[in-house]
């Protein structure tokens, strides 16, 4: 990662860190998923298949978290770090399977901090029991999807704000100049970069892409892809490579996961920052965050095909829409704008 930073530049947390530091805040990071015993954890590739790794993980998941020496050591390390740092705010990233509720209660009691929980997924679908048990300790939940925020209120969180955790950083999320080799490798009519596994969580995405297989469709994913789409897979994409892929495409399709009914995934703002036209399904958040002339909205898969065919035929209209979307997100949906709103919320809490 870049010298002096807490998070790798491919992570959204890096851009939050950059924006908050510019506003004069001091930050420290605790990587809860880094083992305290046995070295670094491994990066997982999601697959539909039963593997030895999955069987091992399943067996380990049956061990109560409080009986795990490694998790107990991680919780102790977090308490020690907060005692030394004395934070005003502890920002907990979602999908926690490691930090005990009693650890968070200790941190709040000893430091007097406010606890902010930030998530982009549904607690009904994804959260772990220890995550839900801590909900009443959360002073504020930041939810990318409004409905997920309501679910956290139902679990006991004190307050929620529908604030997309994703945004764009104009220094990074921008159109990229491509070499001839990169353009040959990445060029396509329609690009999709994201997750499609398991199909129980991403069926809407899969069906949307299946509806577009008659076009020049390129799919990039770090995880497995359903058999019906494998001939369109072009490789993996993270960080700057993802922005180069988007820069080479005429259009990006951005269908949310099946657990999202309001909207607000990472790609929604990143694609616009890259200066690429995008088409997304009709969700309240998408309409709230993007004016009609900055994005294409589809109602069903027949509508998706028809609108894709029409916009691919009209280069001038597509490029004008992409330019408007880029200008819009640079004004309203940068990490600096997000950090400003977060700061307002913190002043209310503190």
Per residue in 328-343, pLDDT tens? 999 999 999 999 999 9
Low-confidence winner among 37-46, 150-159, 208-217, 289-298 (lowest mean pLDDT): 37-46
The reply to whether 108 and 224 lie within a common domain is no
The reply to whether 321 and 342 lie within a common domain is no
Strand order in the sheet with 89-93: 89-93, 114-119, 140-143, 160-162
Nearest Cα residue to 295 out of 314, 274, 272, 312: 272
The structure's pTM equals 0.90
The reply to whether 161 and 195 lie within a common domain is no
The reply to whether 68 and 190 lie within a common domain is no
Residue 129 lies in a domain: yes
The residue to which tokens 């990039």 are assigned:
220
For residue 47, what pLDDT is reported?
59
Residue 299 lies in a domain: yes
Residue 255 lies in a domain: yes
How many angstroms separate the CA atoms of 292 and 307, rounded?
A: 14
The reply to whether 41 and 21 lie within a common domain is yes
Residue 281, CA atoms < 13 Å, CB-side half-sphere: 20
Region 280-307: what's the mean pLDDT?
A: 97
For residue 49, what pLDDT is reported?
63
Region 115-119: what's the mean pLDDT?
A: 96
The reply to whether 150 and 184 lie within a common domain is no
Helix (H) or strand (E) holding 161: strand 160-162
Domain span at residue 261 reads 180-332
Over 50: is that where the pLDDT of 54 sits? no
The reply to whether 154 and 199 lie within a common domain is no
How many angstroms separate the CA atoms of 260 and 160, rounded?
A: 17
What share of the chain has pLDDT > 70, as a percent? 92
Cα-to-chain-centroid distance, residue 144? 9
Of 41 and 264, the structure prediction assigns the larger pLDDT to 264
The reply to whether 317 and 229 lie within a common domain is yes
Longest dimension (CA), the chain: 62
Domain count, the chain: 2
Q: 173 with 278: CB under 8 angstroms?
A: no
The reply to whether 138 and 66 lie within a common domain is yes
Q: pLDDT of 196-226, one tens digit each?
A: 999 999 999 999 999 999 999 999 999 999 9
Q: What are phi and psi of 234, to 5 degrees?
A: -115, -5
What is the length of the chain?
350
Q: Which two tokens stand for residue 26?
A: 């001091």
What share of the chain has pLDDT > 90, as a percent? 83
């Amino acid at each position: 990662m870049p010298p002096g930073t807490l998070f790798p530049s491919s992570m959204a947390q890096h851009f939050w860190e950059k924006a908050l530091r510019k506003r004069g805040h001091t930050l420290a990071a605790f990587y809860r998923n880094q083992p305290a015993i046995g070295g670094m954890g491994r990066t997982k590739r999601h697959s539909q298949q039963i593997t030895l790794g999955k069987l091992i993980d399943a067996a380990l998941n049956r061990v109560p978290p409080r009986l795990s020496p490694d998790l107990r050591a991680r919780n102790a390390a977090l308490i020690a770090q907060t005692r030394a740092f004395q934070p005003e705010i502890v920002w907990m990233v979602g999908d926690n399977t490691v930090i005990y509720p009693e650890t968070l209660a200790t941190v709040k009691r000893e430091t007097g901090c406010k606890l902010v929980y930030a998530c982009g997924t549904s607690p009904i679908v994804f959260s772990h029991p220890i995550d839900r048990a801590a909900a009443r300790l959360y002073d504020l939940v930041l939810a990318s999807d409004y409905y997920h925020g309501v679910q956290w209120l139902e679990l006991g969180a004190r307050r929620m704000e529908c604030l997309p955790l994703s945004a764009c950083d104009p220094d990074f999320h921008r159109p990229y100049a491509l070499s001839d080799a990169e353009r040959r490798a990445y060029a396509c009519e329609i690009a999709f970069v994201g997750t499609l596994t398991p199909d129980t969580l991403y069926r809407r995405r899969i069906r949307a892409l299946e509806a577009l297989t008659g076009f020049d469709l390129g799919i990039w994913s770090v995880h497995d892809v359903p058999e019906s789409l494998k001939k369109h897979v072009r490789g993996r994409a993270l960080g700057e490579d993802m922005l180069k892929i988007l820069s080479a495409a005429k259009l990006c399709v951005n269908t949310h996961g099946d657990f999202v009914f309001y909207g607000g995934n990472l790609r929604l703002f990143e694609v616009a920052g890259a200066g690429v036209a995008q088409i997304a399904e009709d969700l309240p958040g998408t309409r709230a965050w993007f004016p009609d002339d900055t994005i294409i909205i589809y109602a069903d898969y027949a509508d998706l095909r028809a609108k894709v065919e029409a916009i691919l035929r009209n280069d001038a209209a597509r490029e004008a829409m992409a330019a408007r979307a880029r200008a819009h997100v640079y004004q309203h949906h940068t990490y600096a704008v997000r950090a400003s709103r977060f700061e307002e919320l913190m002043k209310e809490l503190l």
